Chain A
Amino acid sequence: MKNILRIFSPLVGAAAFTVGMQAAPMVYRLTPPSSLFSFNDPLPPIIARFLPDQHFDLQCTVAPDAGQTITAVQFYVDNTLVAGTVSSTPATATTISNTINSAVVNIPTPVNTQVFTLRHYAHKPAGVHTLKVVATQSDSSKVTAEGNFAIEDLDRGGRRAKNVIIMIGDGMGAQHRTAARIMAKGVQLGKSTEKLAMDKFPVTGMVETSSLNSIVTDSAPGAFCYSTGNKGNNNQLNVFPDDTVATFDNPRIETIGEYLARTEGKWLGIVTTADVFDATPAAFGPHSQARSAGTGICDQYLDETVAKANLRVLLGGGRKWFLPSTTVGSARSTGNDSVLPAELATAWNVPTGTLDANRDLLSDFQSAGFGYAWDRTSLASLPSNTNKLIGLFSLSNMNVAKDKIDGRRGGVTPLNGQSVVGAYGFPDQPMLDEMTDKALQVLAKNRDGFVLMIEGASIDKQAHNMDTERFVLDTIEFDHAIERCRKFQAANPDTLVIVTADHECAGVAVIGASTVTNSALATRAASGGGAAQLRAGVVGTYEAAGFPDYPIATDGFPVTTDVDYRMLVGYAANADRNENWLTNPLPLRDSQQPMTGTGYGAIVSSLPNLPTDRDTNGAFLITGQVADASAVHTAGDIPLSALGRGQELFTGYMDNTDVFFRIMQAVIGGARDGRNRTDFPRDQNDD
């Protein structure tokens, strides 16, 4: 039985060392990561998996004995020497991880520790393969370490998906969907009157979202698992972790866009309501150790993702990264720009990049033939023959659905006579479904098909803020975009559409409904009576919750979210907040907003900074379970919905990296209408 075999044996594939004393050179890391290397555990699941001919880097970190240096390193796959240049660089990390049996400790990096890399490797034969490194020291002593990786073969001969649309509701767990359905569709006598667009997808799976270094991921590995089929550390993009502090030298993994451009001639589109440098959109293009390195990440969109992955559509916020640093509002800086090591750039055939804070990246995109849209009007005005499109609709993150809709409807002016979007300075931002329509119009021009990632980004951001109405309305906005993709799939049957999430955010739970009217609630909220006014007599649980009803306007959003007997949402991964259940008139502060500081003589910006700065009049403080300033991600499983060509591949429980391989099965090998193997992935078969 597997459990017995998991009493880790120190005899299997271990780096040769003696506990407490380095009597020989030591291998501290072997990349791609494996349980075999880290824990002497050869058994499935295999951590690092790749498609046949999907490129990735091999790397190891080796420490010599005192007074020695490592003079040579060789990599072997299945005991066959891997040809190619092995480059070396000092291990500049101040600490490295030392795994002894199953305990991981950080130790100061020994003197003369080096990182050795063999770039742009690919393997074709399917199955589990051993990866061995042999390092030679200046006194001729050697050390060997062993790990493994798997090549996932694909069935051939099925009906292939030409287009794949990966829709990511950031932070969208099951109850985010439930809350959106209750608000947008309503429940009568126990049945939803209508389904959300995402509910109409015929196939459902469940996804586990852990990252390489935690049960609780963030959006970076939470998305690049879909883009590469691999696990990564939190905060890192399309790379494995390494032991150098340099941001852009990490071992790379070829992404879905790069692979399908190279092998199938497909185009790539990235659409988000966040700043385009943010982790989820960047997970489908750039490679970086730090998701915060905005200048380098956005430079890579043009220098690499356009060139190597046929990026044809990039829509979202984040204009600040595309303006030269001398332009007011630019965030470009040397400190977060990228220069690749020459050996990496040569091996992957990409530019090294330069430190160019003053680059006019937007103008460079336009020179490369990209049509530019800066608001809804200009997006709609672009000619229909546009085949390269960049849209940057705000300096940083776009405003959320509620504030955009309030801006369109007019009459909602909570900021000194201005709407939120007006005060923000960007009054005409498109909705996600409008962005989706334009992206599909561009990408459908490619005869060879496309990969399109669409993100509803602020479901997560507003769930972090525990702003119920804003995260629910963002989920509804995301659902409107899903409906556009449903219609596209109906017109283009060789399209696969996946709706998923990178992780769950905030432990959202629909706990019931208010037992009082909106005006009664407002009175209670102004009373300063705390829980006695805002919990007792208000929170209706079980049958007292009934069926909250939100009339919907013609724009598809609630007429108002301040309805009588409203739905109430609680947060299991909460930080401290005041709660009065009323719709927050203002979003929490975004420090990137250029127009803060409204009002003569006002000491503070009108936007509240923290969840504890809101709703203070009610004095109903709900203490958080986390010490963070806002609610946090959870390890919760994510429902995945699939529609279209290959949909049947997406049933069952799966690891988030499995989603990549199932997508690739649909695109490259095709689905065989029920005759597909159900043991995805092969190496995790329990029988």
Chain B
Amino acid sequence: MFPRIFGKSAFALFLFTSVAVFSTAQSVPGARHLIRPGSASHSSSATPDQNPTALPPLPAGVTELNFSSFFKTPVGPRGLEIADGLSALNGRRVRILGYMVKEQAADHDEPPTSEDASAPSAQNLVSDRFLLTALPQVTNFSHYGLCEDLPPQTVYVALTKTTGAPVTHTARPLLLTGSLSVGPQNEPDGRVSIVRLKLDPPAPATH
């Protein structure tokens, strides 16, 4: 559920909706989770047609983006095709709601699963990006290699300010605003990203 932001200025609203909170190592002053602590990370009582609460008002110049609109439907004879609406948002500022993929580090005892010695190893979690999906997901490179269940509309979210520490996973839904990049691109982790979101930079501290 989304709490009403009573008594907050529009500026503060803009601030905490543009940056996701990870850990104290990466926290930004004033930023906080959008969801009340204690909420279940997925609502089991919501019926398919229920729209439980409206999102906060959309900032000016920002388009709402939903995972379900990424690709043309029905699917054609081959693969998924980027929907025209998504292509049109390339380079534009968007807001999207989703879950951070929980990327588990490799177990120390396990040798790499990949046949290819040059394949990227995810022994170390990265500090400059996380993955956003419509559903809570978990990956574990050492268990599954790149044979994992990440859906095609996984969004690569790039942080504009990092501390070098690995991104700490948060289970709560995240409402993120930033600039969109659309189109296939090889990523250092060995996957191919289709959609990338560069988060708006955090506002300067006001205290």
Interface of A with B (CB < 8 Å)? 92, 94, 245-248, 292-295, 319-320, 323, 325-331, 333-339, 355, 362, 372, 374, 378, 394-395, 414-416, 422, 425-428, 585-586, 589, 591-606, 608-609, 612-613, 616-617
Q: A335-B145, A597-B135 are in contact. Are A328 and B152 (CB under 8 A)?
A: yes
**Cβ-neighbour of B190 out of A248, A329, A334, A605 (below 8 A):** A334
**Cβ-neighbour of B43 out of A248, A329, A333, A604 (below 8 A):** A604
**Cβ-neighbour of B55 out of A92, A246, A355, A601 (below 8 A):** A601
Q: A327-B78, A604-B46 are in contact. Are A335 and B134 (CB under 8 A)?
A: no
Interface string of B60-83 (1 = CB under 8 A from A): 000010111011011111111110
Q: A329-B152, A597-B134 are in contact. Are A603 and B46 (CB under 8 A)?
A: yes
**Contact, CB under 8 Å: B79 / A333:** no
Interface string of B105-128 (1 = CB under 8 A from A): 000011101111001000000000
Interface of B with A (CB < 8 Å)? 42-46, 48-49, 51-55, 64, 66-68, 70-71, 73-82, 97-98, 109-111, 113-116, 119, 134-137, 141, 144-147, 149-153, 173, 184, 190-192, 194
**Cβ-neighbour of A592 out of B55, B71, B82, B151 (below 8 A):** B151
Which partner residue on chain B sits nearest A596 by CB separation?
Answer: B134
A92-B111, A374-B77, A395-B75 known, 16 other contacts, Cβ within 8 Å: A319-B79, A320-B79, A328-B80, A328-B81, A331-B147, A337-B116, A394-B75, A414-B48, A415-B48, A591-B137, A597-B68, A601-B54, A605-B135, A609-B135, A609-B136, A616-B44
**Contact, CB under 8 Å: A362 / B48:** no
Give, as a whole number of angstroms, the nearest-CB distance from A327 to chain B: 4
**Cβ-neighbour of B146 out of A334, A339, A372 (below 8 A):** A334
What is the CA–CA distance of A599 and B52 in the complex, to the nearest angstrom?
Answer: 11
**Contact, CB under 8 Å: A602 / B151:** no
What is the CA–CA distance of A609 and B41 in the complex, to the nearest angstrom?
Answer: 12
What is the CA–CA distance of A336 and B153 in the complex, to the nearest angstrom?
Answer: 20
From A247, A362, A374, A605, name the one whose CB has the most chain B CB atoms within 10 angstroms.
A605
Q: A338-B115, A591-B149, A609-B135 are in contact. Are A599 and B68 (CB under 8 A)?
A: yes
What is the CA–CA distance of A333 and B145 in the complex, to the nearest angstrom?
Answer: 9
**Contact, CB under 8 Å: A333 / B45:** no
**Contact, CB under 8 Å: A596 / B192:** no
Which partner residue on chain B sits nearest A92 by CB separation?
Answer: B111
What is the CA–CA distance of A414 and B49 in the complex, to the nearest angstrom?
Answer: 8
**Contact, CB under 8 Å: B67 / A596:** yes
**Contact, CB under 8 Å: A335 / B190:** yes
**Contact, CB under 8 Å: B77 / A602:** no
**Cβ-neighbour of A594 out of B55, B75, B110, B184 (below 8 A):** B75
What is the CA–CA distance of A336 and B191 in the complex, to the nearest angstrom?
Answer: 12
**Contact, CB under 8 Å: B51 / A335:** no
**Contact, CB under 8 Å: B111 / A94:** yes
What is the CA–CA distance of A617 and B46 in the complex, to the nearest angstrom?
Answer: 10
**Contact, CB under 8 Å: B79 / A328:** yes
Q: A245-B111, A374-B77, A594-B151 are in contact. Are A328 and B119 (CB under 8 A)?
A: no
Give, as a whole number of angstroms, the nearest-CB distance from B180 to chain A: 15
Which partner residue on chain A sits nearest B145 by CB separation?
Answer: A335
Chosen A-B contacts, 19 in total, with CB atoms closer than 8 Å, are A319-B78, A319-B79, A328-B194, A329-B75, A333-B191, A334-B190, A335-B145, A336-B147, A362-B78, A374-B77, A395-B152, A415-B48, A422-B73, A426-B74, A595-B68, A600-B64, A603-B46, A606-B48, A613-B44
**Cβ-neighbour of A325 out of B48, B74, B192 (below 8 A):** B192
- Determine the chain B residues whose CB is within 8 A of the CB of A328 once the complex forms: 71, 79-82, 152, 184, 194
Give, as a whole number of angstroms, the nearest-CB distance from A648 to chain B: 44
Which partner residue on chain A sits nearest B81 by CB separation?
Answer: A328
- Determine the chain A residues whose CB is within 8 A of the CB of B110 once the complex forms: 94
Interface of A is mostly: loop
- Determine the chain B residues whose CB is within 8 A of the CB of A600 once the complex forms: 51, 64, 66
Give, as a whole number of angstroms, the nearest-CB distance from A90 to chain B: 11
Give, as a whole number of angstroms, the nearest-CB distance from B134 to chain A: 3
Which partner residue on chain B sits nearest A245 by CB separation?
Answer: B111
What is the CA–CA distance of A329 and B75 in the complex, to the nearest angstrom?
Answer: 10
What is the CA–CA distance of A173 and B102 in the complex, to the nearest angstrom?
Answer: 37
Give, as a whole number of angstroms, the nearest-CB distance from B162 to chain A: 26
Q: A246-B115, A338-B115, A609-B135 are in contact. Are A595 and B73 (CB under 8 A)?
A: yes
**Contact, CB under 8 Å: A599 / B51:** yes
**Contact, CB under 8 Å: A603 / B191:** no
Which partner residue on chain A sits nearest B185 by CB separation?
Answer: A326
**Contact, CB under 8 Å: B42 / A594:** no
Give, as a whole number of angstroms, the nearest-CB distance from A414 to chain B: 6
Give, as a whole number of angstroms, the nearest-CB distance from A405 to chain B: 18
What is the CA–CA distance of A319 and B52 in the complex, to the nearest angstrom?
Answer: 36
- Determine the chain B residues whose CB is within 8 A of the CB of A319 once the complex forms: 78-79
**Contact, CB under 8 Å: B192 / A326:** yes
**Contact, CB under 8 Å: B153 / A597:** yes
- Determine the chain A residues whose CB is within 8 A of the CB of B141 once the complex forms: 335
**Contact, CB under 8 Å: A327 / B149:** no
**Contact, CB under 8 Å: A592 / B111:** no
What is the CA–CA distance of A613 and B173 in the complex, to the nearest angstrom?
Answer: 18
**Contact, CB under 8 Å: A426 / B147:** no
**Cβ-neighbour of A355 out of B54, B115, B153 (below 8 A):** B115
- Determine the chain A residues whose CB is within 8 A of the CB of B153 once the complex forms: 594, 596-597
- Determine the chain B residues whose CB is within 8 A of the CB of A339 once the complex forms: 115-116
- Determine the chain B residues whose CB is within 8 A of the CB of A427 once the complex forms: 74
What is the CA–CA distance of A589 and B151 in the complex, to the nearest angstrom?
Answer: 12
**Contact, CB under 8 Å: A591 / B151:** yes
- Determine the chain B residues whose CB is within 8 A of the CB of A605 once the complex forms: 134-135
Which partner residue on chain B sits nearest A336 by CB separation?
Answer: B147
**Contact, CB under 8 Å: B151 / A596:** yes
**Contact, CB under 8 Å: A594 / B71:** yes
- Determine the chain B residues whose CB is within 8 A of the CB of A327 once the complex forms: 78-80, 184
**Contact, CB under 8 Å: A335 / B114:** yes
**Contact, CB under 8 Å: B115 / A329:** no
What is the CA–CA distance of A5 and B33 in the complex, to the nearest angstrom?
Answer: 68
Give, as a whole number of angstroms, the nearest-CB distance from A330 to chain B: 6
Which partner residue on chain B sits nearest A421 by CB separation?
Answer: B74
**Cβ-neighbour of B115 out of A326, A337, A414, A595 (below 8 A):** A337
What is the CA–CA distance of A612 and B42 in the complex, to the nearest angstrom?
Answer: 12
What is the CA–CA distance of A372 and B194 in the complex, to the nearest angstrom?
Answer: 26
What is the CA–CA distance of A329 and B76 in the complex, to the nearest angstrom?
Answer: 12
Q: A328-B194, A329-B79, A605-B135 are in contact. Are A248 and B115 (CB under 8 A)?
A: yes
**Contact, CB under 8 Å: B111 / A586:** no
What is the CA–CA distance of A394 and B74 in the complex, to the nearest angstrom?
Answer: 11
- Determine the chain B residues whose CB is within 8 A of the CB of A617 once the complex forms: 45
- Determine the chain A residues whose CB is within 8 A of the CB of B52 once the complex forms: 603
Give, as a whole number of angstroms, the nearest-CB distance from A529 to chain B: 16
**Cβ-neighbour of B42 out of A374, A394, A597, A604 (below 8 A):** A604
Q: A326-B192, A425-B75, A597-B135 are in contact. Are A334 and B45 (CB under 8 A)?
A: no
What is the CA–CA distance of A293 and B78 in the complex, to the nearest angstrom?
Answer: 21
Give, as a whole number of angstroms, the nearest-CB distance from A578 to chain B: 9
**Cβ-neighbour of A294 out of B45, B81, B147 (below 8 A):** B147
Give, as a whole number of angstroms, the nearest-CB distance from A412 to chain B: 12
From B80, B98, B115, B192, name the one whose CB has the most chain A CB atoms within 10 angstroms.
B115
